[in-house]
């Protein structure tokens, strides 16, 4: 069974919904574009149709789409290699190219030396149109690139337009639903059309009455279920974004009276689910979303066993939040110093190297040398000691 969000992707610019003025402005820019014109910078939250618009424009104007995610191709030399020549030439078949740089707000001004300046120079001299997309309108990158770009804002479509699209899909599928059923899905989607379609499809396969479940009902049904299939149905009947589901499940587990081991196992499942969610979002691999609820339902139920958990909307107790905040601050400081010594990015240092530092920190001699070499004060001694002990306990 194919995902409706893929099957019912708009076929052309006119059949998208929402952002009518923005789409119109983009098409006018495209038609009038000539070498030396400004680039188009599409700015707005994820799921508002920026990428779809660019893909459809390339198709409708018969252009070869050269797409780069700026977060993956961050440095100037990488950008030169990928788009340097394309920007100023036709391809072998004489087709013009449309250069699309997605997520330009993912470029870091400090780490990605020269990338923004290179993009600005490329826009000025390009023989092919350049389109960029960013999520954060307030970012420094958007501010810098707006000198050479026509900035076009994108917003979530109004709920009635989301409903209009769902109705057109239902008509294609030959299905009929009540107004209340449409409204339940649209309200849960918060303007995210892709999410609305996915939840519309999964709700249809599990029975529409489930869609009306509230957060409390869905979470309690999830935890009370005797088998993972019932838990899965509860999760699918829960019209919220995957990240919100994770947050609600996490709050309920933390606030429950679960023992240390069960709680740790359950939080470990949520942590893995969060990583998978991050990968889905980064790679825009929406097909994997269909496995997300399933993974949560099966693994979390197994981790919890017969232990009772009830819905709680409170977040973690304040003393735990304070501890998390203090620890994360310390980890950030250690990562910043250590990544400087390694000449590598902070993200990869935090993921690849810091866990080993904690293991090695069980040696007092190593801890002392590490603190001296990184110029960290004695408060870190206690922190590293604690982390090393935690790693030992885990072993």
Partner 1 sequence: MKLVLGGWFRLPRLGSDVFSALMKQGVRYDRELGFKLGHESDVESAVKTISGALGEDMELSLMCLVCSNEACPSCPYAVTCDRRKVSPICLCGEHARGPGAFHTYVSTFASMLAE
Contact 312, 255 (CB under 8 A): yes
Q: DSSP readout, 11-58?
A: SSGGG--S-HHHHHHHHHHHHH--TTPPEEEEE--TTSSHHHHHHHHH
Nearest CA to 101 out of 84, 31, 33, 275 is that of: 84
Which of 4, 5, 8, 19 touches partner 1 by CB under 8 A? 19
The helix or strand, by DSSP H or E, that contains position 182, with its residue range, turns out to be helix 179-189
Among 57, 79, 60, CA closest to 70: 79
Query: Measured from the CB of residue 182, what is the shortest distance to partner 1 in angstroms?
Result: 9
Distance, in Å, from the CA atom of 49 to the CA atom of 209, rounded to the nearest integer, reads 30
Phi, psi of 176 (to 5 degrees): -125, 140
| Shortest distance in whole angstroms from residue 211 CB to partner 1 | 15
Tokens standing for 18?
Answer: 């929402």
Among 160, 343, 372, 394, binds partner 1 (CB under 8 A): 160
For the bound state, the minimum distance from the C-beta of residue 97 to partner 1, rounded and expressed in Å, comes to 23
Stretch that binds partner 1, among 126-134, 178-186, 201-209, 360-368 (CB under 8 A): 178-186
Residues 40-79 close enough to bind partner 1 by CB under 8 A: 48
Q: Alpha-carbon Rg of the chain, whole angstroms? A: 25
Looking at the Cβ atoms of 154 and 338, the one nearer to partner 1 is 154
Query: Can you tell me which of 8, 100, 118, 165 binds partner 1, judged by CB under 8 A?
Result: 165
Binding test (CB under 8 A) with partner 1, winner from 186, 234, 334, 388? 186
Selection from 184, 176, 167, 153 nearest residue 18 by Cα: 153
Stretch that binds partner 1, among 120-128, 186-194, 250-258, 290-298 (CB under 8 A): 186-194
Separation of alpha carbons 8 and 11, rounded Å: 8
Select from 7, 15, 243, 352 the one that contacts partner 1 (CB under 8 A): 15
Q: How far apart are CA 346 and CA 160, in angstroms?
A: 43
Instruction: Please count the residues of this chain forming the interface with partner 1, following the rule CB under 8 A.
Output: 35
Instruction: State yes or no: residue 20 binds partner 1 (CB under 8 A).
Output: yes
Among the listed ranges 181-189, 204-212, 263-271, 323-331, the one in contact with partner 1 (CB under 8 A) is 181-189
When asked if residue 236 is in the footprint of partner 1 (CB under 8 A), the reply is no
Q: Is residue 132 within the footprint of partner 1 (CB under 8 A)?
A: no
Residues 6+ apart with CB under 8 A from 75: 112, 113, 114, 115
Q: Residue 159 interacts with partner 1 (CB under 8 A)?
A: yes
Q: How far is the CB of 160 from partner 1 (least distance, A)?
A: 5
CA–CA separation, 322 and 329 (whole Å): 11
Residue 18 CB, nearest approach to partner 1 (Å) = 5
Instruction: Choose which of 161, 181, 248, 293 interacts with partner 1 (CB under 8 A).
Output: 161
What are the residues binding partner 1 (CB under 8 A)?
13-15, 17-25, 27, 48, 152-161, 163-165, 167-168, 171, 179, 183, 186-187, 191
């Amino acid at each position: 069974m194919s995902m409706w969000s893929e099957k019912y992707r708009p076929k052309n610019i006119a059949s998208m919904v929402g952002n009518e003025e923005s789409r119109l402005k983009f098409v006018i820019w495209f038609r009038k574009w000539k070498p030396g014109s400004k680039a188009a910078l599409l700015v707005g939250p994820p799921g508002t149709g920026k990428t779809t618009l660019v893909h459809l424009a390339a198709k409708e104007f018969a252009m070869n789409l050269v797409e780069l995610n700026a977060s993956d191709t961050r440095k100037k030399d990488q950008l030169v290699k990928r788009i340097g020549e394309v920007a100023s030439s036709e391809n072998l078949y004489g087709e013009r190219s449309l250069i699309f740089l997605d997520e330009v707000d993912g470029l870091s001004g400090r780490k990605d030396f020269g990338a923004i300046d290179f993009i600005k120079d490329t826009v000025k001299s390009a023989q092919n149109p350049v389109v960029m997309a960013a999520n954060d309108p307030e970012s420094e990158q958007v501010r810098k690139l707006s000198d050479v770009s026509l900035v076009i804002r994108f917003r979530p479509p109004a709920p009635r337009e989301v409903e209009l699209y769902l109705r057109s899909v239902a008509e294609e599928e030959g299905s009929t639903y009540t107004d209340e059923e449409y409204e339940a899905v649209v309200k849960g989607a918060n303007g995210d059309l892709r999410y609305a379609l996915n939840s519309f499809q999964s709700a249809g396969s599990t029975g529409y009455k489930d869609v009306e479940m509230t957060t409390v009902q869905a979470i309690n049904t999830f935890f009370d279920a005797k088998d993972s299939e019932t838990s899965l149905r509860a999760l699918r009947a829960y019209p919220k974004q995957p990240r919100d589901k994770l947050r609600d499940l996490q709050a309920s587990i933390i606030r429950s009276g679960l023992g240390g081991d069960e709680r740790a196992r359950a939080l470990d499942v949520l942590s893995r689910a969060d990583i998978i969610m991050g990968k889905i979002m980064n790679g825009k691999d929406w097909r994997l979303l269909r496995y997300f609820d399933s993974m949560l339902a099966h693994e979390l139920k197994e981790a919890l066993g017969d232990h009772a958990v009830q819905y709680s909307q409170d977040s973690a107790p304040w003393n735990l939040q304070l501890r998390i905040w203090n620890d994360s601050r310390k980890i950030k400081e250690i990562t910043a110093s250590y990544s400087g010594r390694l000449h590598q990015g902070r993200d990869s240092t935090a993921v690849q190297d810091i866990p080993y530092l904690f293991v090695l920190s069980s040696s007092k001699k190593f801890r002392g040398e590490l603190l001296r070499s990184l110029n960290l004060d004695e408060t870190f001694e206690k922190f590293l000691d604690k982390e090393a002990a935690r790693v030992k306990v885990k072993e």
